[in-house]
Amino acid sequence: MSASPATPHADQPRPVRGMHDRFGIDARKHRHICQIGSEIAELYDFEQ
């Protein structure tokens, strides 16, 4: 597993409580979504 150091909750396989819990999104999927989000942000140059 290549966990990015920018995600402190990378090693926790527990489900993310709160908003994500109702959708059944676990920590791994959540981290993956965050990674994709940051990549898209770079592609579209959101952080100007």
Which tokens hold the place of 24?
A: 């059944």
The predicted structure's pLDDT at residue 48: 54
Each residue's pLDDT tens digit, 13-47: 555 555 555 556 676 777 778 788 888 888 877 55
The predicted structure's pLDDT at residue 21: 54
Tell me the domain boundaries of the chain. Answer: 14-48
What pTM, to 2 d.p., does this model score? 0.31
**Cα(1)–Cα(10) distance, integer angstroms:** 10
